[in-house]
Structure 1
Amino acid sequence: MNQKKVYQWLGWSPLLFSLLCFCIYPIHWYFFFEILTPEDGIIEYLTAIFAFAAGFISIGLGFYYFKRKEMVTAFILFCYAAGCIFLAGEEISWGQRIFDIKVEDVSAWLAEKNRQEELNLHNIAGFAQIRLLADAFCLIWGITIPWRYQVDTFPIRWLRPFFIPSWLIPGFVTTIFITWPQKISEAIFDEIQWVCELRLGEFKELCFSLVCLLFSLHLLRSRKSTSLIE
């Protein structure tokens, strides 16, 4: 298998992995609900692992370019790493259940405001829309710009090193649209039970973290060039 086909398969991996998991639903519902998709299930921990890995790779790259005095590149990588680590921490509620932490012991305000009594921000009213930032990133930077431009024609020169490769676009498309069946069923059909049971929101987060990891690995591979910013 040549390199181009490998990248194509990697780009489609978020969708393919999700479809594989969905196939388990009618075959072994207990595994799907009790092991794969519940709180602290396989999907949740994979999401955190992928996001943590993306963050730590980006931190390493940030220090690499910092030492080379490429400050703009390093700063963007550190910001990207912070976002990935924040995603991972939020996904596992910053280790709340791992370390048996009670929310009220950390913050009475958080215990009152968090609707799931978890040690995170995305379940607080007002912060819940933070997911829109991920959607905006996918739609603008992951789909629209790579579709509209080539890397050498993109007008913002200092962002060219972070241009999304074409093979990764399917992963961003999957992240955006994977929850649409549930939204359509809620809007038109007053919720279709089996669609809602698939927990598509969890798979959306998984796809996003996997895309972030693949992008970080792409940046790591690009480090072989003399400089990310020519």
Structure 2
Amino acid sequence: MNTLTKTDKIAYFVLGVIFLIGLYFGFTDLNYFDTGFTVEDGPVEWGTAIMLFCVFVLSVYHLFSLWKYKKALWRLGTLAFIVLFFFAAGEEISWGQRIFGIESGEFFQQNNAQGETNLHNLVVGDTKINKLIFSQLLMLVMVIYLLVTPFLYRKKEWVRSLFDRFAVPVVKWHHTIAFIIGTVLVAINPSSRKWEVYELAFGLIFFLIFLNPFNKRIFEKE
């Protein structure tokens, strides 16, 4: 059940190329890495937004195509993922603000670290929401989800029942390995904007998880 599909192989190849390009510019042309490769509305940020939106679309498909075959808790879990990934994709591009040339309201101009219309760059007092929630807390959740829950799901019946009941996809080991390798490759990049590449890696890996999880029966008719 952990065999790589053709889609997995293509996705990991693309991700590997992105990591190598990032490392190359990170060590040879830091200015281009920061102001070109990972710039706001640049290729990396758009790649992240697209991958998150793809997970949203896939979840919508699951909800509507399996609605009559699944129970209420499964529908609730899938709906939660729809909201989560739509929100994440919108936040990544500041809800299209720069695309459509929309000026931020007074609240966001005063309380957003970048003066943009999004929540993850808000500053409360001296605390950046992005650092507290979207970095530290989210990283903790990702570590638990990608490294701990695969063991628990395979060992504990109550974990299997809970995840399957709420339509929570379980990672395969190659997803976990990709996460670990990606973490190492990003960590050695000297740029302060290297985490933009990390977000893209997360987006792509999550798309693969939702596309073909270890417990893929949750996306099958009962």
TM-score range, shorter chain: 0.7 to 0.9
Instruction: Name 1:56's counterpart in structure 2.
Output: 57
d(CA) in 1 for partners of 2:219, 2:148: 27
Work out whether residues 10 and 168 of structure 1, in 8 Å CA contact, stay in contact via their aligned partners in 2: no
Q: Which moved more, 1:43-52 or 1:153-162?
A: 153-162
Find the partner of 2:149 among 145, 148, 166: 145
Instruction: Name 1:185's counterpart in structure 2.
Output: none
Instruction: Name 1:130's counterpart in structure 2.
Output: 133
Instruction: Name 2:77's counterpart in structure 1.
Output: 76
Instruction: Name 2:117's counterpart in structure 1.
Output: 119
Find the partner of 2:171 among 156, 164, 181: 164
Work out whether residues 95 and 117 of structure 2, in 8 Å CA contact, stay in contact via their aligned partners in 1: yes
Q: Percent identity?
A: 24
Alignment of 1:1-230 (within 5 A): 4-6=3-5, 9=9, 12=12, 16-25=16-25, 32-104=33-105, 108-126=106-124, 127-128=129-130, 129-131=132-134, 132-146=136-150, 148-151=151-154, 153-156=156-159, 157-160=161-164, 162-174=169-181, 180-181=187-188, 195-196=190-191, 199-218=193-212, 222=217, 225-227=220-222
Would you say how many aligned residue pairs link Structure 1 and Structure 2?
208
Aligned CA RMSD, in angstroms, stands at 3.1
1:51-73 deviation line (CA, Å, top 9, x unaligned): 00111111211223322242212
Report SS of the residue matched to 1:121: coil
d(CA) in 1 for partners of 2:87, 2:13: 23
Work out whether residues 11 and 168 of structure 1, in 8 Å CA contact, stay in contact via their aligned partners in 2: no
1:18: Cα distance to partner?
Answer: 3.9
d(CA) in 1 for partners of 2:42, 2:184: 23
Structure 2 unaligned blocks of 5 or more: none
TM-score by length of 2: 0.78
Change (3 A) 1:101 1:67: same
1:108-147 deviation line (CA, Å, top 9, x unaligned): 212210011111111112422221343133111111121x
Work out whether residues 12 and 170 of structure 1, in 8 Å CA contact, stay in contact via their aligned partners in 2: no
Report SS of the residue matched to 1:4: coil
Residue type matched to 2:119 in 1? Answer: L
1:178: Cα distance to partner?
Answer: 5.5
Residue type matched to 2:180 in 1? Answer: V
Work out whether residues 48 and 88 of structure 1, in 8 Å CA contact, stay in contact via their aligned partners in 2: yes
Work out whether residues 170 and 209 of structure 2, in 8 Å CA contact, stay in contact via their aligned partners in 1: no
Structure 1 unaligned blocks of 5 or more: 183-194
d(CA) in 2 for partners of 1:159, 1:69: 14
TM-score by length of 1: 0.75
